[in-house]
Structure 1
């Protein structure tokens, strides 16, 4: 005898789904959230007077595959990529708005698993879900989007355009592990590299280090979502400088991936993941040269003046002074 047919969203409707999801978020109104979900909009207190806001979306088939990631994995990952962007501005994440656009045949247990993953990640990063939206979608479409809000707590926002020649380039968090996990999954060898696969499914950005970097006087900062080279290049172009990465400083990251890959990755693969792998959501910041970097910040390069349009690589990034052959991820170009 087969089991009961799983409930679909079409079987229960929007109101019933919300009634099942809200308790998972454990939302309580207080001085910081005077009006929570249930009205037309939530009201969030903003002691600083400024709101840091960002949004990111994930689409099934493009950003995850169901046989690689559970609903909870998708929820946790979508939270991580948003709170990392807030942290990269030097802010503390405070509130999350969730949008789910799903075909009516989507299983209810998947949607509840998604909510559990979001709730768990929100608690880990010190913020909470304050509202959102549910929408039906055409057959085959499943989209999860989160808007994250943050509090600067009196600090100036740290932008991408403040890097200066002589500054130190530093990273907080791991490099290449999420990309290496994706490679392992694509090669059908996920079981051989479980730690790397976990980094791909549920990245753990060092969110607390964003405000810390701001307090230390970071001149520029960015979330490493599309790869070290591509995102460092965004800082370089915004600041009108060149980011020169150190291969010696990054050698340990490459070696660590080879070891964690258990024969799944070659040294060439590992180097590509460290320099070009996306979805890590670690933080890259640029500090004045006289700042004593606390752990987990570690220097990986330096800022140098542009030497002229003809000699500066288009990426704005060099490695040991030479152009780099890794570009990173582009959402439309791959």
Structure 2
């Protein structure tokens, strides 16, 4: 890694400042001081063989293969600074990429961060973003190993996540077979509920709002599912039905969900009632929970935390609930 190069802000001598002083901008301290603040004093796991400071990082790949994924977040499309703190945004940026690594049955080994920001942005915002990204990277068992900084008209965060399969086959979307059990690790619908509450200005359900601001994937459950024999798996980023449809189409099967085990919690029902919305629709079509959904042979023992929510049948790519098509918006789309 080349010192996170190409920022349009010219390097300057860093003044003696309070790190949290909101009046100090990126332009005031320059690129290299900003980078130094992001990496100074951080502890890396053994998987980081060479961290930030050179032309590229070196990350261990004991398996001989590297799982890689990338995702981008743009201000006012994927996050709002009036709804989420920079720390929360940083955590979410890492979480949504780390969940994709887990969904392949792999363990996270490193994250590369590309940041675009206006020169007028407060350094304190970047500091908080960095704290959030490091906090979540450590929770995922990895570290931020490098990246880039550029000038832009708005805040843009792009994350590349790396992972290790530890000798196992990757768990693909295309492996589901008729007779498999469909199982879920984590909750679905909470992030969509939190978003709806934020849009309505309703703060009576803080835990649901927190689920939208800071999803908490069960990173360890991806490898555990692979070890248990999962035949397919996906991260719920677009919505439960939407992501199961990806599995159904790739595998050439149908999926039927059990409505009884998808019953909304009292908290979701209360929030939906207060907004005049349907809690079950949040569960079925709401995205950004970053829970894991997968299929397992009927004879497999589900790993800890996973719960059965349906079954796989023969067919051609549909997802139903008790045999009925799902009504409403199928899930998140970018355009």
Q: TM-score, normalised by structure 2?
A: 0.90
Alignment match, 1:206: 218
- TM-aligned CA deviation for residue 269 of structure 1: 2.5
In 1, the alpha carbon distance for the partners of 2:66 and 2:46 equals 17
Q: Deviations over 1:120-143 (max 9, x none)?
A: 111111110100000111x3x210
Distance 1:287 1:76, change over 3 A: same
Q: 1:258 aligns with which of 269, 274, 294?
A: 269
- Which of 313, 319, 322 is the equivalent residue of 2:321? 319
Unaligned runs of 5+ in 1: 307-311
Identify which of 2, 5, 29 aligns with 1:12.
Answer: 29
1:277: Cα distance to partner?
0.4
Select which of 240, 244, 261 maps to 2:256. Answer: 244
Q: Select which of 59, 63, 66 maps to 2:78.
A: 63
Cα 1:31–1:126, aligned 2, differ >3 Å: closer, same or farther?
closer
List per-residue Cα deviations over 1:178-236 (Å, max 9, x = no partner).
110000000000x2010001000000011110000000000000000000010000000
Match of 1:309 in 2: none
Q: Aligned-pair RMSD on alpha carbons?
A: 1.6
Look up the match of 1:330. Answer: 333
Equivalent-residue separation in structure 1 for 2:322 and 2:285 (angstroms):
16
In 2: Cα distance, 1:32 partner to 1:94 partner: 6
What SS does the corresponding residue of 1:90 show, helix, strand or coil? Answer: coil
Task: Give the whole-Å Cα distance in 1 for the aligned partners of 2:272 and 2:313.
Answer: 37
Residue-by-residue CA offset, 1:120-171 (whole Å, 9 max, x unaligned): 111111110100000111x3x2101111000111111000001001100000
Question: Normalising to structure 1: TM-score of the pair?
Answer: 0.90
User: Does 2:168 align with 1:151?
Assistant: no
Matches within 5 A, 1:1-334: 6-23=23-40, 26-28=42-44, 32-137=47-152, 139=153, 141-189=154-202, 191-251=203-263, 253=264, 255-259=266-270, 261=271, 263-266=273-276, 268-306=277-315, 316-326=318-328, 327-332=330-335
CA contact under 8 A between 2:215 and 2:288: conserved in structure 1? yes
Cα offsets for 1:296-331 (capped at 9, x unmatched): 11111110111xxxxx6xx62111111111311111
Shift of 1:19: 1.6
Listed one character per residue, the Cα deviations across residues 263-295 of structure 1 (whole Å, up to 9, x for unaligned) are 5344x4311110000000000010000112233
Matched residue SS, 2:274: coil
Consecutive aligned runs of 4 or more in structure 1 exceeding 2 Å deviation: 30-34, 253-256, 261-266
CA distance in 2, matches of 1:263, 1:320: 24
Cα shift readout 1:82-120 (whole Å, capped 9, x = no counterpart): 010000000000100001011111111000100000011
Q: Separation in 2 of the partners of 1:122 and 1:169?
A: 29
Contact (CA 8 Å) 2:105, 2:224: kept in 1 or not? yes
Does the 8 Å contact 2:272/2:279 carry over to 1? no
State the aligned residue count. Answer: 314
Structure 1 residue 257, shift from structure 2 partner: 1.1
Q: Deviations over 1:239-265 (max 9, x none)?
A: 0011111111201x3544114x28534
8 Å contact 1:168–1:287 — kept in the other structure? yes
SS in structure 1 opposite 2:310?
strand
Structure 1: how far apart are the matches of 2:22 and 2:242? 46
